[in-house]
């Protein structure tokens, strides 16, 4: 027999559903017969279920099925997209072709490769560049870019020279192959007079030992390219005075310096007078 009303009320719904085993079902039956409170609860539960059953159902709209068929028969997204893109064709196709062309031009214009600076300036000179303080490697690169446009060939050669040269501060051995030694010597003298290296030794008619700031190195190269073809290499042995001279030049010019051993070599055998 169920004495506990709480336990009974917990079982009211299963009892209603016929889910209790026979023994418990009998116990519930007996308790409900004896307990008016639980009996009232049971009646309330039944009443509630009747109330749920009698809830009015929402009405079905008169055109419900027609609306479903309209939805089913409506064109799918591929057809809608096709209609949006292509109809009317005499308007859409020309307009879309124009739009695609415009976008293509815009993309090409925005992402076009930039012209090198010398194409735009064309007037920047070597000297103008020399006035701009920059790291040696940047100066080297910038100086190459500032060559006047008329000297495109020289520009390419100087690029090659710069690539071939050892890093700043490393002594350089330059051999210049010339047709006429005497003429070449004159041109070298003229270039050195213009450059005014801090130190110049002229141990032989065709040999020069120079100490000059890094920024003048390429100017020297430019001059030498006009004299003959160049062969550049790092100097394998340094001259005894070079370290001292290098230090002095660095202190003087407040920048890296180059030690250059310049040799003129003749393609013919004519000596320098």
Partner 1 sequence: MDAPPEAFPATLESSRPEASDVADQELVHRAKQGDRGAFDQLMLRHQQGIISLAYRMLGNYDEAVELAQEAFFRMWRGLPCFREEAAFRTWAYQITLNLARHRRRWHARHRTARTVSLDAPAGAEEDDPPASSVPDPAPGPREEAGRSEIQEAVRRAVAQLPVPLRTVTVLRDIQGLPYEQIAEISEERIGTIKSRLHRARAILKTRLAQVTR
Options 3, 5, 7, 33; binder of partner 1; rule CB under 8 A? 33
Q: How many Cα neighbours within 13 Å face the side chain of 146?
A: 17
What backbone torsions phi and psi does residue 56 show, to the nearest 5 degrees? Answer: -65, 140
Q: Whole-angstrom Cα distance, residue 197 to residue 189?
A: 11
Report the C-alpha gap between 44 and 47 in whole angstroms.
Answer: 5
Query: How far apart, in whole angstroms, are the C-alpha atoms of residue 77 and residue 260?
Result: 77
Interface of this chain with partner 1, residues 67 to 96, rule: CB under 8 A: 67-69, 71-72
Q: Contacting partner 1 (CB under 8 A), which of 2, 8, 27, 42?
A: 42
Cβ count near 157 (within 10 Å)? 19
Binding-site member from 21, 22, 61, 273 for partner 1 (CB under 8 A): 61
Binding mask 101-130 for partner 1 (x = CB under 8 A): ------------------------------
59 vs 273, beta carbon nearer partner 1: 59
Q: Do the Cβ atoms of 141 and 162 come closer than 8 Å? A: yes
Query: How far apart are alpha carbons 217 and 163 in whole angstroms?
Result: 13
User: Across the chain, where does the E strand assignment appear?
Assistant: 172-178, 199-204, 207-213, 229-234, 257-266
Residue 132 as a binder of partner 1 (CB under 8 A): the answer is no
Q: Does 244 engage in binding with partner 1 (CB under 8 A)? A: no
- Report the residue number, 28 or 192, with the smaller CB distance to partner 1: 28
Q: Work out which of 3, 7, 13, 117 binds partner 1, going by CB under 8 A.
A: 13
In the complex, what is the shortest distance from the CB of residue 83 to partner 1, in angstroms, rounded to a whole number? 20
> What is the torsional sign of CA 184, 188, 194, 195?
positive
Alpha carbon distance 166, 11 (integer Å): 98
| 200, 210 Cβ separation under 8 angstroms | yes
Closest CA to 137 of 171, 162, 170, 164: 162
Stretch in the footprint of partner 1 (CB under 8 A) among 23-31, 119-127, 223-231, 254-262: 23-31
Chosen residue from 3, 5, 37, 65 binding partner 1 by CB under 8 A: 65
Q: Pick from 21, 22, 58, 113: which binds partner 1 (CB under 8 A)?
A: 58
CB of 74 to partner 1, least distance (A): 9
Closest approach, Cβ 23 to partner 1, in A, equals 15
At closest approach, how far in Å is the CB of 87 from partner 1?
A: 25
Is the Cβ–Cβ distance between 129 and 143 less than 8 Å?
yes
Where do contacts with partner 1 occur on this chain (CB under 8 A)? 10, 13-19, 25, 29-30, 32-33, 39, 41-46, 48-49, 51-61, 64-65, 67-69, 71-72
């Amino acid at each position: 027999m169920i004495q506990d009303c709480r336990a009974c009320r917990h079982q009211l719904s299963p009892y209603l559903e016929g889910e209790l085993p026979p023994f418990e079902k009998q116990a519930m039956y007996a308790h409900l017969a004896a307990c008016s409170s639980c009996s009232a609860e049971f009646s309330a539960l039944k009443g509630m279920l009747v109330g749920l059953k009698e809830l009015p159902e929402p009405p079905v709209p008169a055109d419900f099925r027609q609306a479903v068929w309209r939805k089913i028969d409506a064109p799918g997204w591929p057809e809608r997209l096709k209609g949006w893109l292509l109809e009317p064709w005499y308007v859409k196709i020309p307009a879309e072709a124009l739009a695609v062309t415009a976008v293509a031009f815009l993309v090409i214009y925005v992402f076009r490769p930039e012209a090198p600076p010398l194409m735009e300036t064309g007037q920047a000179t070597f000297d103008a560049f020399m006035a701009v303080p920059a790291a040696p490697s940047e100066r080297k690169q910038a100086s190459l870019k500032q060559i006047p446009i008329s000297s495109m060939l020289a520009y390419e050669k100087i690029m090659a020279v710069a690539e071939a040269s050892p890093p700043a501060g490393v002594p350089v051995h330059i051999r210049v192959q010339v047709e006429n030694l005497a003429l070449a010597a004159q041109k070298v003298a003229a270039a050195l007079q213009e450059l005014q290296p801090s130190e110049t030794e002229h141990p032989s008619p065709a040999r020069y030992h120079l100490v000059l700031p890094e920024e003048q190195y390429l100017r020297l190269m430019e001059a030498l390219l006009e004299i003959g073809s160049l062969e550049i290499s790092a100097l394998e042995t340094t001259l005894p005075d070079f370290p001292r001279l290098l230090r002095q030049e660095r202190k003087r010019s407040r920048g890296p310096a180059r030690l250059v051993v310049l040799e003129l070599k003749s393609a013919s055998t004519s000596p320098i007078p």
